[in-house]
Amino acid sequence: MTTENDRPFRDQIVGLIVEALREQGYPDLSVETIQTDTAHRDAFVEMLEACRPLPVIRQLITDAKESKI
């Protein structure tokens, strides 16, 4: 479960990953497309899974898979 204390950190992580994926071949990727485009969601989750297994990252992976970014 995401807490309000996690939100700023999560938002920073999402922003960093969105920016990185845009530079790596997904120029139209956004938070919105992660929720609606399977390829964008899969790329986002794949990048998260490559990160250290911090609790906030694990919850973000779960949320992304459920289209709840």
Instruction: Give residue limits of the domains in the chain.
Output: 11-65
pLDDT band of residue 2 (cuts 50, 70, 90) is low
Q: What pLDDT was estimated at residue 1? A: 56
Distance CA 27, CA 6 (A): 27
pLDDT band of residue 58 (cuts 50, 70, 90) is confident
pLDDT digits (tens, 9 = 90+) for 25-55: 999 999 999 999 999 999 999 998 887 677 8
Q: What pLDDT was estimated at residue 8? A: 87
Q: How much is the pTM? A: 0.73
Helix and strand counts by DSSP (H, E) for the chain:
4, 0
